[in-house]
Amino acid sequence: MDTTLRSDGDLVLQSREDPEAFAEFYDRHAEDLLRYFARRTLDPDAAAELTAETFAEAFASRHRYRERGPGAGPWLYGIARHELSRFFRSGAVEGRARKRLGIPDRDVSDADYERIEELIDFERVGRAIAEAMNELSAEQREAMTLRVIEGRPYDEVARLLACTEETARARVSRGLKRLARLIEPTRAEMEIGR
């Protein structure tokens, strides 16, 4: 029995002839990839779907993989970034690769859901958001609370803030942009290693 550890690239290349080799590649990267998506989407269902779709796309395109030095890990995360970008543009995971491969949709079990929430670390995210909200102007904070947290329509936000709808939209937009800039260093700290 060969006990040498095969590189990620070797596994992907071998999976062209022996699809079972891809299972080892999957086992090495599944949890880290799930964490990557969970911390970016903050949605366990989306994270699970994106993980499945990324691996399906990697498996479907393994014949195009070329060993170029850094290995198959960066190749996999390139696919992941592409899937995440699509998700943020459309608001949904398309599932094209899974459909091409005939992989059925799978519901996230309660245990899986809880595990994914642990990967997100909502407590840390909540603290980061609370700290960042305190850095917003009072006007931005009020507009964000009414629109984003309470989900009120812009006409109601404008009425409650005694401003125009355009001004309410601008306050929310500026608040969201500032909030993203303020929590970005915290996200980077949370993702050390991925």
- Mean pLDDT lowest for which of 20-24, 54-58, 173-177? 173-177
Q: Are 46 and 87 in contact (CB under 8 A)?
A: yes
How many helices (H) does the chain have, and how many strands (E)?
10, 0
Domain formed by 8-120, architecture: Orthogonal Bundle (1.10)
CATH 3.30.1330.10 fits 122-190, yes or no: no
User: pLDDT tens across 142-155, in order?
Assistant: 998 998 888 899 99
CA distance 69 to 20: 23
Residues in the chain: 194
Is 153 or 112 the better-scoring residue by pLDDT? 153
Overall pTM surpassing 0.95 (yes/no): no
Q: Best-predicted range by mean pLDDT among 37-41, 127-131, 157-161?
A: 157-161
**For residues 164-187, average pLDDT:** 79
Domain definitions of the chain by residue range: 8-120, 122-190
Q: What angle do CA 80, 132, 168 make, to 5 degrees?
A: 95
**For residues 62-90, average pLDDT:** 86
